[in-house]
């Protein structure tokens, strides 16, 4: 007998977080990836199960059609499989009211942003989706995609372009205030999104700019938010888990760890779901949580992923199981990241760190080193330079941060064979890094060229003691392996 496809009539009622999707769409979400589907969608379904409201989500994929098409075939349902070594459970959020693919249906996306029912535009497009320059942190007006969106003679392709053009429509149709909520791993993500939106508007022809900018200033809020849930890529094992639990076939289930955290500023221009009843925390001090998470979890995650991949580990749990990697991670946390943080009130940092080790060690998740290691050229800029500069300004070299950069460079531009996991990391900087490696006779000049090129900002590149250490550690990794490099830090 063939397994029935997941859909409105085949989901066992017990698995549904809410019985039916809301009737109205209050949220337009840009970025229909796994993270959104296991984080915001789940918190929203739980909030609506507590307090109902017009908060259905229209999910917008960027370019790829796979998830959107499958969700359409499944009456907008998919399963979230929560995995831990102690067992697994499967639920179906059922909170989406539609799906679109921006590259094909841009006009419909802009209309949705402008629709009177829409009160919130949420974003998970990853660090790479914000089209800002790593060097200046301002909108990358030199990039071809941003320039094209500014000309406006074709449908906008960039996220910032789509948001601005949608807001422009909204301002002209009088649909009222709206909130733009970034849910990506960027420091001060709300403030940064506002800055990029306003920089885009500032580049528009004067008449458009003068019409739109005051409207955005008066009618759009951009709260900061910290998001946290480890969400790997989907594999057949996750499809099998859904089949085993629910007796249906889901083409696009999302695996996730049991842990989930969301901290937000309560600055919504036109209302919001009662997320506080779904585990979200509202506070004026989001930044402290963001930095804690970006540095302790994400920064250390990158180190684990690069050292792990270089040591032949396919997964993060395998990597953190190697004592030399756990040792490097612990030292990164304690010596390099923690001293740069203001720990938010109510967080016990020792518990937080122990919990991180438990989360990284979750072998049921199968989170791959290649996934965390991908896009390092944009991720590391969020994780490493600021804490590194705190130490360097007071005369100390943060060894594990230098090691993170060295291990990244060894994965992406290897001077010797590194194996399949590093080779599988995708990064838009890979080509340039490889060329730079070929051009330079020594690791030192290679590192100087790469960091001097703005990869981690200009200030860090100006600290010769840091770039020297990165080069030494990269040489050590190449000649004696990652474990020996850790021993020398
Ligand atoms: C990871 C994050 O891939 C990565 O860079 O560090 O995706 C991490 O799993 C999440 O931020 C956890 O909340």
Residue 136: which CATH number? 3.40.50.720
H or E element at residue 226: strand 225-228
Judge whether 455 lies within some domain: yes
Which region holds residue 77: left if phi is over 0, alpha if psi is between -120 and 50, else beta?
beta
* Pair (66, 96) in one structural domain: yes
Ligand 1 atom with least separation from CA of 371:
3
Percent of the chain whose pLDDT exceeds 70: 100
State pLDDT tens for residues 161-183.
999 999 999 999 999 999 999 99
Residue 90, SS3?
A: strand
Please tell me the residue having the least CA distance from ligand 1 atom 13. 228
Query: What's the 32 CA to ligand 1 centre distance in angstroms?
Result: 16
- C-alpha span between 46 and 453 (Å, rounded): 46
Token pair of 134 as six digits: 């790593």
Whole-number pLDDT of residue 198: 98
State pLDDT tens for residues 315-342.
999 999 999 999 999 999 999 999 999 9
List Cα–Cα distances, 448 to 397, 470, 479, in angstroms: 17, 9, 20
Q: CB–CB of 99/5 below 8 Å?
A: no
* Pair (275, 311) in one structural domain: no
Average pLDDT in the 109-137 region? 94
Please check the confidence at residue 247 and state whether its pLDDT lies above 70. yes
Please tell me the residue having the least CA distance from ligand 1 atom 10. 230
Query: What's the 228 CA to ligand 1 centre distance in angstroms?
Result: 8
What pLDDT band is residue 96 in, cutting at 50, 70 and 90? very high
DSSP 8-state assignment for residue 277: G
* Nearby residues of 350 by Cβ (< 8 Å), 6 or more positions away: none
State pLDDT tens for residues 379-436.
999 999 999 999 999 999 999 999 999 999 999 999 988 999 999 999 999 999 999 9
Judge whether 263 lies within some domain: yes
Whole-number pLDDT of residue 135: 79
Please tell me the residue having the least CA distance from ligand 1 atom 4. 372
- C-alpha span between 213 and 441 (Å, rounded): 50
Whole-number pLDDT of residue 2: 86
Query: What's the 415 CA to ligand 1 centre distance in angstroms?
Result: 27
Please check the confidence at residue 19 and state whether its pLDDT lies above 90. no
Please tell me the residue having the least CA distance from ligand 1 atom 9. 230
By most ligand atoms within 8 Å of CB, the mutation choice from 372, 380, 383 for ligand 1 is 372
Beta strand pairing status for 80-84 and 87-91? antiparallel
Q: Which residue has the higher pLDDT, 300 or 187?
A: 300
Query: What's the 470 CA to ligand 1 centre distance in angstroms?
Result: 23
Beta strand pairing status for 225-228 and 254-256? unpaired
Token pair of 156 as six digits: 């906008």
Query: What's the 185 CA to ligand 1 centre distance in angstroms?
Result: 8
Ligand 1 atom with least separation from CA of 228:
13
Judge whether 2 lies within some domain: no
DSSP 8-state assignment for residue 339: G
The mean pLDDT value of the chain amounts to 96
* Pair (222, 335) in one structural domain: no
Please check the confidence at residue 251 and state whether its pLDDT lies above 70. yes
Please tell me the residue having the least CA distance from ligand 1 atom 6. 298
Ligand 1 pocket by Cβ (under 6 Å)? 185, 228-230, 297-298, 301, 371-372, 379
* Pair (336, 240) in one structural domain: no
* Pair (262, 396) in one structural domain: no
What pLDDT band is residue 1 in, cutting at 50, 70 and 90? low
Query: What's the 230 CA to ligand 1 centre distance in angstroms?
Result: 6
List the domain range (segments joined by +) for residue 322.
Answer: 286-487
Whole-number pLDDT of residue 352: 97
What pLDDT band is residue 302 in, cutting at 50, 70 and 90? very high
Beta strand pairing status for 225-228 and 261-264? antiparallel
Query: What's the 229 CA to ligand 1 centre distance in angstroms?
Result: 7
Query: What's the 60 CA to ligand 1 centre distance in angstroms?
Result: 21
State pLDDT tens for residues 218-232.
999 999 999 999 999
Average pLDDT in the 60-73 region? 97
Number of neighbouring beta carbons within 10 Å of residue 345: 8
Average pLDDT in the 194-215 region? 98
Token pair of 388 as six digits: 């590194």
By most ligand atoms within 8 Å of CB, the mutation choice from 127, 225, 227, 301 for ligand 1 is 301
Residue 354: which CATH number? 1.10.1040.10
Give the end of a domain, one of 216, 249, 282.
Answer: 282
State pLDDT tens for residues 28-58.
999 999 999 999 999 999 999 999 999 999 9
Q: CB–CB of 24/48 below 8 Å?
A: no
* Pair (270, 387) in one structural domain: no
* Pair (63, 139) in one structural domain: yes
* Residue 99 β-bridge partners: 59
Q: Which of 85-89, 326-330, 370-374, 420-424 has the lowest mean pLDDT?
A: 85-89
State pLDDT tens for residues 439-465.
999 999 999 999 999 899 999 999 999
Ligand 1 atom with least separation from CA of 261:
13
* Pair (301, 156) in one structural domain: no
Residue 470, SS3?
A: helix
What's the structural domain count of the chain?
Answer: 2
């Amino acid at each position: 007998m063939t397994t029935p496809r997941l859909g409105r009539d085949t989901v066992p009622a017990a698995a549904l977080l809410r019985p039916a999707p809301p009737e109205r769409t209050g949220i337009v979400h840009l970025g229909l990836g796994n993270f959104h589907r296991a984080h915001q969608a789940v918190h929203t379904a739980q909030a609506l199960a507590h307090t109902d409201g017009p908060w259905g989500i229209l999910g917008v994929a960027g370019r790829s059609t796979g998830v959107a098409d499958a969700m359409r075939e499944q009456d907008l349902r998919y399963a979230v499989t929560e995995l831990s070594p102690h067992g697994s459970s499967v639920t179906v959020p059922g909170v989406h009211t539609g799906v679109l693919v921006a590259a094909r249906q841009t006009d419909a996306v802009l209309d949705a942003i402008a629709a009177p029912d829409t009160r919130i535009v949420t974003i998970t497009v990853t660090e790479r989706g914000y089209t800002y320059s790593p060097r200046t942190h301002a909108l990358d007006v030199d990039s071809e995609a941003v320039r094209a969106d500014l000309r406006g003679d074709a449908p906008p392709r960039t996220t910032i372009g789509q948001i601005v053009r949608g807001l422009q429509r909204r301002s002209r149709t009088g649909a009222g205030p709206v909130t733009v909520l970034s849910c990506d791993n960027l420091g001060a993500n709300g403030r940064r999104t506002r800055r990029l939106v306003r920089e885009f508007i500032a580049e528009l022809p004067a008449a458009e700019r003068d019409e739109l900018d005051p409207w955005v200033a008066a009618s759009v809020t951009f709260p900061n938010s910290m998001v946290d849930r480890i969400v790997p890529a989907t594999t057949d094992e996750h499809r099998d888990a859904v089949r085993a639990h629910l007796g249906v076939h889901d083409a696009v289930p999302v695996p996730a760890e049991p842990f989930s955290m969301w901290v937000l500023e309560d600055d919504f221009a036109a209302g919001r779901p009662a997320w506080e009843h779904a585990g979200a925390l509202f506070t004026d001090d989001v930044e402290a949580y963001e930095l804690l998470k970006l540095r302790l979890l994400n920064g250390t995650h990158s180190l684990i992923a690069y050292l792990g991949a270089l040591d032949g580990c396919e997964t993060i749990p395998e990597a953190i199981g190697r004592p030399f990697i756990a040792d490097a991670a612990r030292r990164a946390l304690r010596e390099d990241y923690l001293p740069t943080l203001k720990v938010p009130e109510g967080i016990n940092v020792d518990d937080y760190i122990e919990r991180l080790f438990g989360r990284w060690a979750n072998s049921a998740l199968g989170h791959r080193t290649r996934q965390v290691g991908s896009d390092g050229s944009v991720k590391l800029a969020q994780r490493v330079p600021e804490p590194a500069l705190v130490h360097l300004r007071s005369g100390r070299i943060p060894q594990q941060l230098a090691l993170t950069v060295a291990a990244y460079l060894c994965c992406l531009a290897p001077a010797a064979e590194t194996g399949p996991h590093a080779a599988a990391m995708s990064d838009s900087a890979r080509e340039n890094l490889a060329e730079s490696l070929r051009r330079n006779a020594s690791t030192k000049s290679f590192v100087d060229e790469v960091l001097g090129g703005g990869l981690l900002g200009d200030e860090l590149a100006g600290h010769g003691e840091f770039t020297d250490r990165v080069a030494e550690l990269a040489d050590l990794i190449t000649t004696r392996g990652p474990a020996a490099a850790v021993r020398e830090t």
